[in-house]
């Protein structure tokens, strides 16, 4: 069974525990979920590249993705935030 099925099951169980009902987007309609599509594109473009990884390579990518997520959430400027990093917005908000 592909690894993504186990991941999806864990996500659905976690959401259920939080009493959150997931909404599914029709395949082939990325415009229905622009925020996630934008994030996925950035992750691919800035961190992972466009190649397909083998299952055996996934553990080695963990550190790379964790570092990129820290950069993405705290340092990287976002167009939706007026070309400012989220950390700057957070310090103003709180």
Angle at 28 between CA 24 and CA 32, to 5 degrees: 50
Alpha-helical regions (H) of 18-82:
34-43, 58-74
Region 72-88: mean pLDDT is 89
- Please tell me whether residue 78 adopts helix, strand or coil conformation: strand
Neighbours of 28 (CB within 10 A): 6
pLDDT at 60: 86
Report pLDDT digits (tens) over 14-59. Answer: 889 999 887 878 887 877 888 888 888 999 999 999 888 888 888 8
The pTM for the full model equals 0.61
Domain ranges of the chain: 62-94
d(CA 74, CA 76): 6
């Amino acid at each position: 069974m592909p690894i993504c099925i186990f991941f999806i099951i864990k996500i659905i169980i976690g959401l259920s525990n939080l009493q959150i009902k997931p909404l599914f987007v029709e395949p082939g309609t990325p415009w229905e979920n622009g925020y996630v599509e934008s994030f996925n594109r950035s992750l691919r473009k800035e961190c992972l590249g466009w190649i397909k990884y083998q299952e055996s390579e996934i553990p080695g990518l963990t550190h790379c993705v964790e570092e990129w997520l820290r950069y993405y959430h705290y340092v990287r400027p976002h167009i939706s935030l007026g070309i400012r990093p989220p950390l700057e917005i957070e310090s103003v908000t709180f």
